[in-house]
Amino acid sequence: MRIVSARDFRNTGGDPVVEHDRFHFQNWGDAGHELVVDYLRPDFTGEHLLQLVYGNGAGPINTGVTCAVKKVSVEELPSGDVVAEGQLFMPHLASWSEWHDSSFLRATLDASKTYRVRIHGDERSINMSAFSHFEAYTAGLGGREGAFNRVNLSHLKLLALEGGVALTPAASFDGSSDYDELPEASKVTPGITLADWERFALTWDEDFVYVAVVSSAFEASGVRPYMLYLQGSSAPFANPAARAGLAYDNQTANVPFEAGYLVAVRRTSDTGDGAGPWNGLFRWDNGGWVRQQRFEEGREFWVGSDSGRTLSFRVRRSQLGSPTRLRVAGHVVSGGGNYNDVLPSAEGGPQHEPWVSGRTEGFYEIDLTGPSGATAWTHR
């Protein structure tokens, strides 16, 4: 099952809030309102069910006058062709603090393709409050006050009805000794460390890539991020070409290959500046970096219980295009034009030097079908 947080929804109408124990959109559902998931890649090819996690306190559970009704459309990218659409129903829960699952929309999806999901209303997205017969209704919103079809939405669920068998994960992160969870053979010492105990580890299984970084930079500052750039492929790589990284703190790193993805994490994901959680997966799109997925702590990333020295995260291989080969390079953005904990170090090959423009060396090339140990990574 894939769960997409409302933090990854693009909204027209409604208010993004943290209430009732979670982030969601409220005051949403009037004519012209829309929520969009701009980029969704399934893990499996075949039949799926889409479902919304909703709150509807507009009436008691024994009436359905203001049961929320919304249309969900699934569009294949980049063509925009609609591959599935239908109305989802979200009945009363008596309290806005209750959260339940909607009805389902069935869709046939391809794991090699990406999709856009639109949540909106049309002429069929109506409930009983739209009819004059129910003007006398007094048990909740609607009735004499007019039609009411709003709903609170916190998540989109994507449930695969066919696909691979669940395997034992290569790592089980929980924020406690996550670095120790990873195999010894997958651990390396980065370059330009701030302390001699700083480390990096990476491994994978059929579903995820797992990373743990140990650095005093995280302990010293909650907003110093680790940035891991990735280029995926299912065929041999062409010669590398440099690409600009994501600008942060007035610094733009040079990436020594044409990275298609970036995982960026820091200890404090939300500084209260209104920008919301910053941690997440970014992708290179139309000449720039766009956030593909915001990470939720405890689900996609973890802050270590060791005074925040360790940051760990996992990213679905399907979100990276299901590659069998990866190029990777990483660093901490330390501010003031400085970079630390660069990956790879100079040991065994050229060091990653993000401050040198146009450089096309200093990265690892990893065969995901081969051994996971760092000795099998090609240092270029």
Question: pLDDT for 53-82, tens place per residue?
Answer: 999 998 888 887 789 999 999 999 999 999
From 160, 186, 204, give the residue that closes a domain: 160
- What is the reported pTM? 0.86
| Burial track 311-329 (b if 16+ CB lie within 10 A, e otherwise) | bbbbbbbbbbbbbebbbbb
What's the mean pLDDT in 257-271?
Answer: 94
From 134, 160, 186, give the residue that closes a domain: 160
Q: Which residues have CB under 8 Å from 10's CB, separation 6+?
A: 35, 36, 37, 38
The pLDDT of residue 277 is 79
* Of the listed ranges 131-145, 168-182, 365-379, the one predicted with least confidence: 131-145
User: Are 110 and 61 members of one domain?
Assistant: yes
Instruction: Give which of 296, 362, 303 is closest to 331, Cα–Cα.
Output: 362
Q: Is residue 167 a part of any domain in this protein?
A: no
Asked if the bond preceding 78 is cis, omega within 30° of 0, the reply is yes
The pLDDT of residue 278 is 87
The pLDDT of residue 156 is 97
Q: Is residue 331 a part of any domain in this protein?
A: yes
User: Are 302 and 350 members of one domain?
Assistant: yes
User: Are 155 and 237 members of one domain?
Assistant: no
The pLDDT of residue 270 is 85
The pLDDT of residue 312 is 97
User: Are 150 and 207 members of one domain?
Assistant: no
The pLDDT of residue 251 is 94
The pLDDT of residue 238 is 95
The pLDDT of residue 176 is 95
pLDDT category of residue 218 using cuts at 50, 70 and 90: very high
Q: How many CB atoms lie within 10 A of CB 221?
A: 16
Range of the domain at 350: 178-379
Whether residue 222 is predicted with pLDDT greater than 60 in this model: the reply is yes
CA–CA dist 348, 351 (Å, integer): 9
**342 backbone φψ class: left, alpha, beta (φ>0; ψ -120 to 50):** beta
User: Are 147 and 191 members of one domain?
Assistant: no
The pLDDT of residue 63 is 84
User: Are 256 and 369 members of one domain?
Assistant: yes
What's the mean pLDDT in 351-379?
Answer: 96
Helix %, strand %, coil % for the chain, to 5?
Answer: 10, 40, 50
What's the mean pLDDT in 281-288?
Answer: 94
Q: Is residue 169 a part of any domain in this protein?
A: no
User: Are 187 and 58 members of one domain?
Assistant: no
Q: How many structural domains are present in the chain?
A: 2
User: Are 51 and 86 members of one domain?
Assistant: yes
Q: Is residue 23 a part of any domain in this protein?
A: yes
User: Are 197 and 147 members of one domain?
Assistant: no
pLDDT category of residue 163 using cuts at 50, 70 and 90: confident
What's the mean pLDDT in 30-55?
Answer: 94
User: Are 25 and 149 members of one domain?
Assistant: yes
Q: Is residue 170 a part of any domain in this protein?
A: no
Residue 210 in contact with residue 311, Cβ under 8 Å? Answer: no
The pLDDT of residue 135 is 60
User: Are 215 and 364 members of one domain?
Assistant: yes
Q: Is residue 173 a part of any domain in this protein?
A: no
Q: What is the pLDDT of residues 303-329, one digit of tens each?
A: 999 999 999 999 999 999 999 999 999
Q: What is the pLDDT of residues 100-149, one digit of tens each?
A: 999 999 999 998 899 999 999 988 888 776 665 666 565 567 666 767 88
Q: Is residue 12 a part of any domain in this protein?
A: yes
The pLDDT of residue 104 is 98
The pLDDT of residue 347 is 94
CATH of the domain at 126: 2.60.120.260
Alpha helices in the chain (DSSP H): 178-181, 216-220
Q: Is residue 236 a part of any domain in this protein?
A: yes
From 160, 187, 203, give the residue that closes a domain: 160
User: Are 193 and 291 members of one domain?
Assistant: yes
What's the mean pLDDT in 46-53?
Answer: 97
The pLDDT of residue 137 is 60
Whether residue 366 is predicted with pLDDT greater than 80 in this model: the reply is yes
| % residues pLDDT > 90 (the chain) | 78
pLDDT category of residue 275 using cuts at 50, 70 and 90: low
What's the mean pLDDT in 207-224?
Answer: 94
The pLDDT of residue 142 is 64
